[in-house]
Structure 1
């Protein structure tokens, strides 16, 4: 009977679906089954000439030996661990190992029995899940969660050693949304991958780059005691990343980076606070203009909270109709007649009173709220102009000017929306003027240019707003799809007694005449300014000299006073087009 049992055990040992082995007290293989040989790639004879230490991953060996020693001292009866074996070809295999110690009748240790299960597939699946959980699929960079882990380690090191310093640099790639919405995800992904490649080529292995948002990245800089060096590094990184155009299927190849920095001396204890502070500094950099770098200060956090409250208030303002339009008359300097109005957005806040666009439009653009807001402005202003045209005799030539954001230009349904709107309210294309900024044209993609050309094909005029204030390049104007140039009020205000400013205005008007463009001067407040503009050949003007921005009812009164009722059809000269 014993012989039969021994044969059965021998058959079970060699045919088992899991690895089974006898291992000597010093680690030599005494007997192994075929499953172990298949697992590690060695023959039985090759394994018997080796020890288990020979095929154990060096990082796992100490743990294995520690548990074996605890078995020998009777501290434990068995143990199970996950460890790695080294395959004959040099690769690693994950196994689940269970070990028991066999003792003699007198209690003396004789050998170990090990049961080995291949768990490589499970480990690979876990690694994939870990990658998905902690690394960005597109770029392969650590994601926000992994970056917070790195930050946590730095905070702990700093708590133990106050001399351990670190910084977080937060990067935001501008114009990314324009690429994504106009050219599609494939091109925006290509842009991000190339940006990451350039960043990694600049950074050292000790500097961790992570993708923490759609077009936002963070860098952890460890061990830098001079924080001025961190800001210098950030600015050098910007130059490195932006040193050459990005090769996209678009003429739009130049981008900008806004950078926020927070240093460990700020005194926060949570990694989320550090990342939030760097993000806040980055948003302050955006407000400074292109390619800015801002170092975080604690006072910024309170303003960030106020900004968040403003965002919530703005969402509520859209729902509860707190937004309204004022209209400023635009006067023809040649005929003295009212040519139209510019629709100016205002916000009647329940506690703060009137909030000007400069305070909430940048926020609306960042949050995407600018899209429904602009649609509302277009619809409200167009409908109102249609009512004025019907109420006042022979005023079908009146136009309404509306500011259009770059984000709105990238919306795929913009043309369809405008076509339906004009048809619904009964306006022609030449009754609508859309004001765009120079930066929108400088940064525009070919697709945006096509949209502007299609707007012009509908006789919708395009005005270049605040011309001369930031990105002006007179040489490219001839190729841009624009009809009007608007001279910024900062030039008009100093046109008297400032030869430089008046020279700029003269140059703009001369250039516009050569390019067959019309010129609109903003911020005209005195007769002296008006006379100079008229003498220079300016076509249109608006400002407090004629009228402040008016709400709808006040515009009705203004039109009755200066245009007359339908039957009268009076024409008023520019010197009379003033609100008393």
Structure 2
């Protein structure tokens, strides 16, 4: 066997027999031209050959590509090609190299220092072994070494090598490469450098060049090996995508014949990828569907851009499927369309889920009616496409729903809402939209109805809903309030229509149960004023435009001032002095009531502390402050109140918080805990407007209060109605039994005071004693200690 490290030029007789270096260069250029022609032919063939049906990539693809590269190297290079095969089991390496027509194999430990020390120049041993390790780690090699020949001379060899990974990409399984003898070129370069130095010493500057064609040729081959390796890797990736992508992938020619189909597409038709080739959509689908698909293909070709289509097809089981297809043109080097590619995704399940989600989002689960979300979208669509017809909204609220729900249970409440929904659907015209807006609020949108007919419909709805239905084995009638708004000069858009109907409903509920209110100019002005008040109130708090007035609470037996109720006023810069009725409801709706309550608490405590320091207060004196339901439910309420008392050094016994009977009923469980915590701090609690709500004896036993305040409506009626006197006497007796004090509100005459004192009421307040006055006049009252009530004082609304 010939020594592979022998002068390699001798192994290429065709090149070695040429007369000189210039002839070798000419010969090599001819061979390179042949190689380029061959590569162009292979490229043209690959571009014009239809792709094979989608199937796993053959394992020997890389090997055949590499063999082709070997042949090109052997035929055209002054050197040899080699392969290093790595055996992981025995940790040995098999070196296979080809020179001319010979193939030689060596099985050796390539990391043996003795091997390299024998073969290489000492200065190259360490670098060569390091390069080999990097090569086996997957890093491409392009380097030059001095190799010992049989005559103990050193040849300059350039080595280019590329690693190939195994299928798992965890290790390098082999290395392919080429070697070129560049000794002659290096010796010429050395001679030229020596000559140049001689010329420079003689003062002559010359430029000398060396034909580096062999080196450039090796660079070109190395680039081709890189390109073929990358192409092979890309093909593997493409095969993986075709095989595992969760989509149907295909390529058709311009006649509609499939020239590629992945496994999923073929399986959807009960075929293999090979069987799909050559078929058309007319072979796979009914004619109507196939023609539609074909038209989609034509549109892609005509427009020359990717297009997306919804396709409705029938599967093998006869079920209709919805598919989204993205189709795109494929172009050759001349930018001519020669095929159509497509990626198809089955979206049937997703569309069904979207429809179910839309149903869930846009419809009320309990009643099945459209909900608020659907309604807002519906009205928005109307706003973008306005109509000239009369549009009306009925906004419907169940007045007694909370009572029914609390008394008979949530299940009965749900059944009531379902029954109301069915009743409204039956009463509504065919073109109406009936929706559940929220809770116990319903809405009926009438796209073409005069307002007079809408009023008649509202009355009919009230009458229909008033008919008893059986809930929890009991007959129950629903009482409803209705607000109505119609498109006019004030209400111009569907959004205005909804808002104004809601405002009309709000007004209806303020008037009492079972009311119908039509939104009009008066309500419009009222709404504007409410908006202005809501906008100006925060600034009023900051600018101290709020002021406390104090109405005295009198001991009906001694005339002693035993307390004040702190009542809020707003000294408005344009509207004058506003009573709380003008702005407290707006503060409650807007959420500002918490800030207002805190302002009142702070100033009432501060003023009472000043009176205490001035020694004007009786030991049983209390300042009484109204507090809203929102403030009562504040988690930090106790801390806020106790902190204020501490800051102003006012004992808790001088403060009493008043809550309304309605607030106590609406939030019973939470209220009980808060009131108990307040009383534990020594702060008294009063139940205001007692007798106007639905409280019972059991309710009073649960709610920890110190004082009952009899509503003024009973006090005003005691002189005319025997029943009112009996009610007041019952309240006084009940309070005494429960250990509570009683204060009668609204005492306007001397007779009222005498009668109340006669039936056992200890305390009272009202215009007979005094109107609510500023703190300066209240200070004067405390100085008098006892109010003389022989004649009534001027009065105003409290």
Q: Shorter-chain-normalised TM-score: which range?
A: 0.7 to 0.9
SS in 1 for 2:51: helix
Structure 2 residue aligned with 1:167: 393
d(CA) in 2 for partners of 1:67, 1:268: 50
d(CA) in 2 for partners of 1:242, 1:413: 44
Deviations 1:368-401 (A, max 9, x none): 1111111111111112111111202563431101
Higher radius of gyration, 1 or 2: 2
d(CA) in 1 for partners of 2:602, 2:658: 15
d(CA) in 2 for partners of 1:55, 1:312: 67
Q: Note the residue ranges of structure 2 that are not aligned, 5 or more in a row.
A: 1-41, 57-238, 332-337, 403-410, 427-431, 473-477
SS in 2 for 1:549: coil
Please show how residues 41-52 of structure 1 align to structure 2 within 5 Å.
42-44=270-272, 51=282
d(CA) in 1 for partners of 2:683, 2:578: 30
Structure 1 residue aligned with 2:13: none
- Residue 19 of structure 1 pairs with residue 249 of structure 2: yes
Structure 1 residue aligned with 2:604: 381
Structure 1 residue aligned with 2:707: 484
Q: CA deviation at 1:257?
A: 8.2
Structure 1 residue aligned with 2:30: none
1:327 and 1:344 in contact (8 A); partners too: yes
Return the match for 1:95 from 324, 329, 332. 324
Deviations 1:217-270 (A, max 9, x none): 6645457855333565478779999968xxxxxxxxxx9987534356889553
- Return closer, same or farther for 1:166/1:395 CA change in 2, 3 Å cut-off: closer
Q: CA deviation at 1:576?
A: 7.5
- Residue 349 of structure 1 pairs with residue 572 of structure 2: yes
Aligned length: 531
Q: CA deviation at 1:546?
A: 1.8
Return the match for 1:312 from 525, 531, 535. 535
Return the match for 1:461 from 677, 684, 694. 684
Q: CA deviation at 1:494?
A: 3.7
Please show how residues 109-148 of structure 1 align to structure 2 within 5 Å.
113=340, 115-118=342-345, 120=347, 146-148=374-376
- Residue 503 of structure 1 pairs with residue 545 of structure 2: no
Larger displacement relative to structure 2 (459-468 or 325-334)? 459-468
Q: CA deviation at 1:34?
A: 1.7
Higher RCO (C-alpha under 8 Å, 6+ residues apart):
1
- Return closer, same or farther for 1:498/1:208 CA change in 2, 3 Å cut-off: closer
SS in 2 for 1:9: coil
Structure 2 residue aligned with 1:413: 636
Structure 2 residue aligned with 1:280: 503
Q: Note the residue ranges of structure 1 that are not aligned, 5 or more in a row.
A: 103-110, 177-189, 245-254, 564-571
- Residue 34 of structure 1 pairs with residue 265 of structure 2: no
d(CA) in 1 for partners of 2:424, 2:765: 52
Please show how residues 508-523 of structure 1 align to structure 2 within 5 Å.
508-523=731-746
Structure 1 residue aligned with 2:173: none
d(CA) in 2 for partners of 1:191, 1:413: 36
Please show how residues 326-405 of structure 1 align to structure 2 within 5 Å.
326-392=549-615, 395-405=618-628
TM-score of the pair, normalised by structure 2? 0.55
Q: CA deviation at 1:33?
A: 0.6
TM-score of the pair, normalised by structure 1? 0.73
d(CA) in 2 for partners of 1:377, 1:365: 14
1:170 and 1:278 in contact (8 A); partners too: no
- Return closer, same or farther for 1:167/1:137 CA change in 2, 3 Å cut-off: closer
SS in 1 for 2:52: helix
Deviations 1:479-520 (A, max 9, x none): 432222212223323433443433333333233333332211
- Residue 229 of structure 1 pairs with residue 452 of structure 2: no
d(CA) in 1 for partners of 2:443, 2:291: 35
1:332 and 1:574 in contact (8 A); partners too: no
Larger displacement relative to structure 2 (92-101 or 190-199)? 190-199
Larger displacement relative to structure 2 (468-477 or 215-224)? 215-224
SS in 1 for 2:520: coil
